[in-house]
Chain A
Amino acid sequence: MTENDKLLVSLDNETFAVDADAVAAVVETERFFMLPMLKFPFSCPRPVFIKGVITRRGDVVVVIDIGSLLGITASPDRFNQGQAHDTGPYRVAIMKKDASSLGVYLGKKELSFLWSEDLKSLEFEPSGENYIQGLIDPSGRKIKLLDWQRILEETQKAVSCR
């Protein structure tokens, strides 16, 4: 069981957690820039869970929408015609490990934390769901611990059109 502090992200009626150690920063951005994915000659559909990219300290970070990846919410994409898009500023948690980084769109909800002292007494249930390492259950509410490495691999696959 990972007993590090956790950053909590709420989406509709679900709560997700990520290891706070992996969070390099939580930033606000006015817009997302386009990640250019060539339509030809690869005929690859643009993944809807990728919101775009932002820059931070000279680095370019791909930002994903967890809700869209997990099928919980539809990701409004300003490049999809006919769909309204939410306005900024947008909050993004930047997950970083070595040379890899991934931005997680946090929406406009408040952030919260689950501290390691509170986690020690909790049970960790393994989960068979995609991109979820397991479940933590404080006070009777299920919190899904995101497997962000797995999410990073999925994003890489989607972006490289393989």
Chain B
Amino acid sequence: MSYLLHFMDTSQYKTLFLQETEEHLKGINEELLKLENEPHAPSGIDNLFRHFHSIKGMAASMGYETMASFSHQLEDLLDAVRKERINLNQEIVDAVLSGADTLRAFTQLIAEDKPLDMDSQLLSKIQAILTRKEPPAPLLQKEEAVVIPPASAQPAASKLGLSTTMKVDSKVFDNFMGSVGELFTVRSRLREIVTNSFPVEFQEAAHQLGRIIEDLYYAVVTARMIPFEGLTQNLPRIVRDMCKKGGKDVELLIQGGDVKLDRAVLEHMTDPLVHIIRNALDHGIETLEERISLGKPAKGRITVAVARQRNNIIIEITDDGRGIDVNKLKEKALLAGIQEERIKNMADKELLLLICTPGLSLAKEVTETSGRGVGMDIVKGNVESIGGRLEISSYPHQGTKITLELPVTISIVKVLLVSLCDELFAFPISKVLKVMDVNRADIKGDKTCRSVIYNDTEVPIVDLRNILALPSLAEKDPVSVVVIDAKGKISGVIVDDFEGEIDGYIKPLSQPMTRMQGVIGVTVLGDGRPVFLLDPTMLPCPENTYS
């Protein structure tokens, strides 16, 4: 970014500046964590210096003097280490990390067009370190040091060239996906309209258009896919900071970081992943003394493993900590108002999911990071909001495994359309087991508790009209029932009629609908009718539901 920008309207470059700064900050985090483990790595300091130098240059070009000046201070600190005027130690690493955090906070303020506030305490600390008199660093022997030429000494490029990759704002892809999604809806509509009464040429053209739209969709989805490691880049830092605070030593392993999934799915997983890791660190992994007394390795381990399974992504987060105390969980569940009878009849898997109940926490105390019974509630909500599933397994003193099953992409989903009054609603096909017409004579029970036979098993049914507080339909016989798999349990939903399947471009709900219960998203048909995608897991699940 040229100094000439200083004299121009730089607002149009703000997005690019923020993106590039973020990349440099990620690089700084990685280098610092490496340096902590390998303080002798000679290129580490130089790499760090280059990152801060770039941030300083860009910030100065954009007119963010406070940010440029602060980056310069951090450069000075690293330069002093590089020239062996001060020793690299934990204090310096912490100061540089805090400096990087401050720069990140600056980028947030810049994004919101707010003034930048300098952290004077940190600045004083950096000055104090710089003015301290120390002997040269003994760790790095001069004869072992690898000399890296400064950037200006590198040979200049002999010809011009263009990079084959382009940086594109994710919003561009979101808009692209939106347009493709609309095309998908039109394709579905076209399929409905084009019947044998149309000329063959028309049918072929419609079919070909459908194929091209599908190809375009997959091309956009593929372009929007990013590797899972894009999400986990900051996790090592989070683990490091929490370990320091809690006096624990934990190794974080990430497997399958190159598995790609839709950016939209990853966006939903940012909070859940952090919550789960924080819970594992706070409540799962024991203290050093506890681990040694149990004969466990002193260093705890958290593994995040990602794998693709057909159209799903499986993320497993495992820790080797103390596990979940099921008896304590039962006590807390009772206190939270869950019926004793229900708790008694629960299988372990279902019992463990109770930790996702809002307000229910097994923590002895509320810490800065967890313990209020809010985190797992959010995790489950986020996962289910995109049609995913959460499973927990745990063994005392061995650890806990949390498995998230997520769709690879969430934008275009095959749905079953159903009608109610003259409205259309949809269920995800992945949750629909069967659609069937049931004679009223075959419906057992009374109005409060009805059931039908499905696969030789009695399953409860509910009337969607009743759930949506719609007026009752005049007696229809037979009734149309959608058998769904809700939360791993099977139940039936009575609707007015089935209206076929479509590939729906499901848009997330926008304000003021964002926090609506029981609705995953909405699609708009080619004729302008909205179709809300209902969340089967949120429909009432009566006590006598069968699995």
* A102-B522 in contact given A38-B468, A40-B540 (Cβ < 8 Å): no
Q: Evaluate contact between B522 and A60: CB separation under 8 angstroms.
A: yes
Q: Is B165 positioned at the interface, with any CB of A under 8 Å from its CB?
A: no
Q: Give CA–CA (A8, B518) in the complex, Å.
A: 36
**Per-residue B-contact encoding for A132-162, CB less than 8 Å = 1, 0 else:** 0000000000000000000011011001111
Q: Is B135 positioned at the interface, with any CB of A under 8 Å from its CB?
A: no
| B492-547 CB contacts (< 8 Å) to partner A | 507, 509-519, 522, 524, 528-530, 532, 534, 538-540
Q: Is A99 positioned at the interface, with any CB of B under 8 Å from its CB?
A: yes
Interface 9-mer from A15-23, A28-36, A66-74: A28-36
Q: Is B369 positioned at the interface, with any CB of A under 8 Å from its CB?
A: no
Taking the closest CB of chain A, its distance from the CB of B510, in whole angstroms, is 5
List chain B residues, Cβ under 8 A from A33.
Answer: 423, 529-530
Q: Give CA–CA (A55, B470) in the complex, Å.
A: 22
Q: Evaluate contact between A99 and B511: CB separation under 8 angstroms.
A: yes
List chain A residues, Cβ under 8 A from B538.
Answer: 38
Q: Give CA–CA (A13, B524) in the complex, Å.
A: 37
Look across to chain B and name the residue whose beta carbon is closest to the beta carbon of A155.
B512
| B424-467 CB contacts (< 8 Å) to partner A | 425, 466-467
Q: Is B469 positioned at the interface, with any CB of A under 8 Å from its CB?
A: yes
Q: Is A53 positioned at the interface, with any CB of B under 8 Å from its CB?
A: yes
* A102-B471 in contact given A34-B421, A36-B425 (Cβ < 8 Å): no
Q: Evaluate contact between A101 and B510: CB separation under 8 angstroms.
A: yes
Q: Evaluate contact between B517 and A55: CB separation under 8 angstroms.
A: no
**Per-residue B-contact encoding for A36-79, CB less than 8 Å = 1, 0 else:** 11111110001000000101001110100000000000000001
Q: Is B178 positioned at the interface, with any CB of A under 8 Å from its CB?
A: yes
Q: Evaluate contact between A39 and B467: CB separation under 8 angstroms.
A: yes
Q: Is B79 positioned at the interface, with any CB of A under 8 Å from its CB?
A: no
Q: Evaluate contact between A37 and B540: CB separation under 8 angstroms.
A: no
Q: Give CA–CA (A53, B519) in the complex, Å.
A: 14
Which of B468, B470, B511, B517 has a CB less than 8 Å from the CB of A156?
A: B511
Q: Is A81 positioned at the interface, with any CB of B under 8 Å from its CB?
A: yes
Look across to chain B and name the residue whose beta carbon is closest to the beta carbon of A79.
B470
Q: Is B182 positioned at the interface, with any CB of A under 8 Å from its CB?
A: yes
Q: Evaluate contact between B469 and A39: CB separation under 8 angstroms.
A: yes
Q: Evaluate contact between B529 and A100: CB separation under 8 angstroms.
A: no
List chain A residues, Cβ under 8 A from B529.
Answer: 33, 55
List chain B residues, Cβ under 8 A from A101.
Answer: 510-511
The main secondary structure of chain B at its interface with chain A is loop
Q: Give CA–CA (A155, B469) in the complex, Å.
A: 19
* A36-B528 in contact given A99-B511, A156-B511, A159-B512 (Cβ < 8 Å): no
List chain A residues, Cβ under 8 A from B517.
Answer: 38, 42, 160-161
List chain A residues, Cβ under 8 A from B469.
Answer: 37, 39, 46, 79
**Per-residue B-contact encoding for A99-140, CB less than 8 Å = 1, 0 else:** 111100000000000000000000000000000000000000
Q: Give CA–CA (A46, B467) in the complex, Å.
A: 12
Taking the closest CB of chain A, its distance from the CB of B525, in whole angstroms, is 9
Q: Evaluate contact between A38 and B518: CB separation under 8 angstroms.
A: yes
Q: Evaluate contact between A102 and B540: CB separation under 8 angstroms.
A: no
Look across to chain B and name the residue whose beta carbon is closest to the beta carbon of A100.
B511
Q: Give CA–CA (A37, B516) in the complex, Å.
A: 8
Look across to chain A and name the residue whose beta carbon is closest to the beta carbon of B529.
A33
Q: Give CA–CA (A101, B514) in the complex, Å.
A: 12
List chain B residues, Cβ under 8 A from A81.
Answer: 471
Q: Give CA–CA (A155, B471) in the complex, Å.
A: 24
Which of B513, B530, B540 has a CB less than 8 Å from the CB of A159?
A: B513
Q: Evaluate contact between A152 and B511: CB separation under 8 angstroms.
A: yes
Taking the closest CB of chain A, its distance from the CB of B419, in whole angstroms, is 12
List chain B residues, Cβ under 8 A from A153.
Answer: 512
Taking the closest CB of chain B, its distance from the CB of A31, in whole angstroms, is 9
Q: Give CA–CA (A39, B468) in the complex, Å.
A: 6
Q: Give CA–CA (A39, B467) in the complex, Å.
A: 5
Q: Evaluate contact between A60 and B524: CB separation under 8 angstroms.
A: yes
* A99-B510 in contact given A36-B518, A38-B518 (Cβ < 8 Å): yes
Look across to chain B and name the residue whose beta carbon is closest to the beta carbon of A153.
B512
Q: Give CA–CA (A13, B509) in the complex, Å.
A: 36
**Per-residue B-contact encoding for A3-19, CB less than 8 Å = 1, 0 else:** 00000000000000000
**Per-residue A-contact encoding for B406-433, CB less than 8 Å = 1, 0 else:** 0000000000000001010100000000
Which of B466, B467, B468, B524 has a CB less than 8 Å from the CB of A58?
A: B524
Q: Give CA–CA (A19, B460) in the complex, Å.
A: 51
Taking the closest CB of chain A, its distance from the CB of B504, in whole angstroms, is 12
Q: Evaluate contact between A36 and B515: CB separation under 8 angstroms.
A: no
Q: Give CA–CA (A80, B241) in the complex, Å.
A: 57
* A34-B468 in contact given A42-B517, A156-B511 (Cβ < 8 Å): yes
Taking the closest CB of chain A, its distance from the CB of B287, in whole angstroms, is 39
* A156-B514 in contact given A53-B530, A55-B530 (Cβ < 8 Å): yes
Q: Evaluate contact between A36 and B511: CB separation under 8 angstroms.
A: no
Taking the closest CB of chain B, its distance from the CB of A89, in whole angstroms, is 14
| B222-272 CB contacts (< 8 Å) to partner A | none
Q: Give CA–CA (A34, B282) in the complex, Å.
A: 45
Q: Evaluate contact between A59 and B423: CB separation under 8 angstroms.
A: no
* A55-B524 in contact given A34-B421, A38-B518, A39-B468 (Cβ < 8 Å): yes
Q: Evaluate contact between A162 and B423: CB separation under 8 angstroms.
A: no
List chain B residues, Cβ under 8 A from A162.
Answer: 515
Which of B178, B528, B534, B540 has a CB less than 8 Å from the CB of A41?
A: B540
Look across to chain A and name the residue whose beta carbon is closest to the beta carbon of B471.
A81
Q: Give CA–CA (A100, B509) in the complex, Å.
A: 10
Q: Evaluate contact between A36 and B524: CB separation under 8 angstroms.
A: no
**24 A-B residue contacts at CB 8 Å?**
A33-B530, A36-B518, A36-B532, A37-B469, A38-B517, A38-B518, A39-B467, A39-B469, A41-B540, A42-B517, A55-B530, A58-B524, A59-B510, A60-B507, A60-B510, A60-B530, A79-B469, A79-B470, A100-B511, A102-B512, A153-B512, A156-B511, A156-B514, A160-B515
Residues of A at the B interface (CB closer than 8 Å) are 33-42, 46, 53, 55, 58-60, 62, 79, 81, 99-102, 152-153, 155-156, 159-162
Further pairs besides A33-B529, A58-B182: 11, Cβ < 8 Å:
A34-B423, A36-B534, A39-B469, A40-B540, A46-B469, A55-B529, A60-B530, A100-B510, A156-B513, A156-B515, A159-B513
| Cβ-closest 9 pairs across A and B | A160-B515, A156-B512, A100-B511, A38-B518, A155-B512, A39-B469, A40-B540, A34-B423, A60-B530
